[in-house]
Amino acid sequence: MNQTEEELVHQFSQPNRRAGAFSVIVRTYQERLYWHVRKMVLSHDDANDVLQNTFMKAWNGLDGFRGDSQISTWLYRIATNETLTFLTNKRMRSQSSIDDVEEVLLQNLKADTYFNGTEIQLKLQKAILTLPEKQRLVFNMKYFDDITYDEMEAILGTSVGALKASYHYAVKKIEKYFSDEDE
């Protein structure tokens, strides 16, 4: 991104420059946000839908963005909330238990023509799906995206201590999943 965040935020308030500034934001963060969402919903098509909703919410919320947080933090917060809403709605639509929805997500991943992971990557995704949603989110953000706890605190509104604990428990559960699978 050649422009600074301050320049982009300033352009948001100028009607003739708003769309251009937003286009820069989309190009800059689209891929990172896609993978952030995809790790939770697992399906390429679902991730694209959630990402589209994310950018629509961001566009509609530009007037409320004042630059108090980084643009990336703001976008991750919107994407995370959209992802959690999508998963909740998916559960409610199917009127299934969390386990049933996680199984559907896993089946969707296996059938997804865009997933070309190895057997170990599929096994890791199975292990991650056994985690509660919030732990899964924290694990994905830390392990795959290398987001710092301070950044996660700003995105998720959860204390650093709680985030560290969630990550620690997630790692332990995944390790247990792998050790149980090997027995």
Q: What is the mean pLDDT of residues 61-85?
A: 91
Of the residues 68, 95, 116, the one at which a domain ends: 116
What's the predicted TM-score (pTM) here?
Answer: 0.79
The residue written with tokens 């170990």 in the block is 120
Q: What is the mean pLDDT of residues 156-179?
A: 94
Note the pLDDT of residue 16.
93
The residue written with tokens 């809403």 in the block is 85
Q: Are residues 155 and 166 in the same domain?
A: yes
CATH number at residue 20: 1.10.1740.10
Token pair recorded at residue 84: 């959690």
Q: Are residues 69 and 27 in the same domain?
A: yes
Token pair recorded at residue 140: 């994905």
Residue range of the domain that includes 121: 117-183
Note the pLDDT of residue 67.
79
Q: Are residues 106 and 126 in the same domain?
A: no
Q: What is the mean pLDDT of residues 157-182?
A: 92
Q: Are residues 109 and 143 in the same domain?
A: no
Q: Are residues 112 and 125 in the same domain?
A: no
Q: What is the mean pLDDT of residues 105-110?
A: 60
Q: Are residues 53 and 130 in the same domain?
A: no
Between CA 71 and CA 108 the distance in angstroms is 31
Q: Are residues 86 and 128 in the same domain?
A: no
Q: Which of 41, 25, 4, 40 is nearest to 145 (CA)?
A: 40
Of the residues 85, 116, 147, the one at which a domain ends: 116
Q: Are residues 141 and 108 in the same domain?
A: no
* Residue 167 in this model has a pLDDT that exceeds 60: yes
Between CA 7 and CA 90 the distance in angstroms is 39
What is the total count of domains within the chain? Answer: 2
